[in-house]
């Protein structure tokens, strides 16, 4: 199993993400502030799960090089995305200390639980597959939107710059290379599991955009 085959099977899901009206509106600089605010609030909650998932994934890693890489990534989530979120929060009028607090949307919870379940089950490759769409789709979106020309709105511009930047691209390459190295000799049963987990994460990525764009109708707590 290689990432390229996951990428191939995800084509339909990828197309509906890149054409999502929220993704398009970020690129055009026309996204409503309230929608972006909902997104950033939910994303901050999502990242709390995500970072912990990476740390636990490090503990499942089959070798030390993989463990170190994943631990570094767990920390980077807060450096890179944390900074982006903090400055976005200031612009969006999210009060100090309120970012990453408040009601968790149903999709935020379901996506987080999906990733957490994989690391709790303890099989390394399916758990790694759960975080691949997160890395990969944002790099694709960032690169595509950057190619269309940056919008004037600083908030949206900065968002695109993070996900189209070299630093982020390097991070995605590291994770994809890790997958390719460790999934090289995977068996049929494991591949089927990897594909199922990956497919669900792709669906959740799309639903995460839906959740913010349509306004949240379900709150879990
Ligand atoms: C729903 C959702 N999916 C993906 C990302 C992007 N992302 C989150 S953490 C991380 C790892 C590197 O920092 C990446 C790429 C996001 N922010 N929100």
208 lines ligand 1 (CB under 6 A): yes
Helix/strand/coil for 61? coil
Percent of the chain residues past pLDDT 70, beyond the cut: 97
Q: How far apart are CA 145 and CA 160, in angstroms?
A: 7
Measured in Å, residue 221 CA sits from the centre of ligand 1 at 22
* Cα torsion 70, 75, 79, 81: sign: positive
Q: What residue's CA is closest to ligand 1, atom 9?
A: 77
Calculate the CA 127 to chain-centre distance. Answer: 14
What's the rounded mean pLDDT across residues 61-89? 90
pLDDT class of 213 with cuts at 50, 70, 90? very high
Taking only the tens place, the pLDDT of each residue in 154-184 is 999 999 999 999 999 999 999 999 999 999 8
Q: Is the dihedral of CA 201, 80, 94, 99 positive or negative?
A: positive
pLDDT band for position 215 (cuts 50, 70, 90): confident
Supply φ then ψ for residue 219, to 5 degrees.
-120, 140
In the predicted model, what is the mean pLDDT of residues 7-26? 97
In this predicted structure, the answer to whether residue 221 has a pLDDT above a threshold of 60 is no
Query: pLDDT-derived band of residue 95, with 50, 70 and 90 as boundaries?
Result: confident
What atom in ligand 1 is closest to the CA of residue 163?
15
Average pLDDT, the chain: 94
Question: Which helix (H) or strand (E) segment is 60 a member of?
Answer: helix 33-60
Task: State the residue for tokens 């890790």.
Answer: 178
- 40 CA to middle of ligand 1, Å? 11
Ligand 1 atom closest to Cα of residue 77: 13
The whole-number average pLDDT for the span 82-100 is 86
Q: Work out the pLDDT band at 79, boundaries 50, 70, 90.
A: confident
Q: Tell me what pLDDT residue 148 has.
A: 97
Is 144 known to be catalytic? Answer: no
Q: Which atom of ligand 1 is nearest to the CA of 76?
A: 13
What is the per-residue burial (b if ≥16 Cβ within 10 Å, else e) of 126-149?
A: bbbbbbbbbbbbbbbbbeebbeee
| Contact predicate 156/25, CB 8 Å | no
ipTM: 0.94
Can you say how many angstroms the Cα of residue 54 is from the centroid of all Cα atoms in its chain?
Answer: 12
For 3-214, CATH gives 1.20.910.10
Which sequence spans correspond to the domains of the chain? 3-214
Answer for the pair 218, 105: CB distance below 8 angstroms, yes or no. Answer: yes
Average pLDDT over residues 3-29: 97
């Amino acid at each position: 199993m290689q990432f390229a085959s996951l990428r191939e099977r995800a084509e339909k899901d990828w197309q509906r993400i890149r054409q999502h009206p929220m993704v398009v509106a970020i690129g055009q600089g026309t996204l409503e502030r309230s929608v972006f605010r909902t997104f950033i609030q939910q994303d901050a909650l999502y990242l709390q799960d995500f970072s912990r998932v990476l740390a636990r994934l490090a503990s499942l890693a089959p070798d030390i090089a993989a463990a170190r890489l994943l631990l570094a990534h767990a920390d980077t989530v807060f450096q890179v995305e944390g900074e982006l979120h903090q400055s976005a929060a200031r612009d969006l009028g999210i009060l100090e200390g309120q970012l990453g607090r408040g009601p968790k949307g149903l999709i935020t919870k379901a996506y987080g639980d999906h990733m957490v379940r994989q690391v709790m089950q303890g099989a390394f490759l399916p758990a790694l597959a759960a975080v691949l769409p997160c890395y990969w789709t944002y790099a694709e979106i960032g690169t595509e939107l950057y190619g269309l020309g940056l919008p004037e709105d600083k908030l949206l511009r900065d968002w695109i710059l993070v996900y189209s930047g070299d630093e982020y691209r390097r991070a995605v390459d590291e994770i994809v290379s890790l997958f390719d190295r460790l999934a090289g000799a995977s068996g049929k049963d494991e591949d089927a599991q990897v594909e199922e987990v990956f497919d669900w994460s792709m669906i959740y990525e799309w639903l995460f955009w839906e959740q913010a764009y349509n306004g949240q109708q379900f709150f879990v707590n």
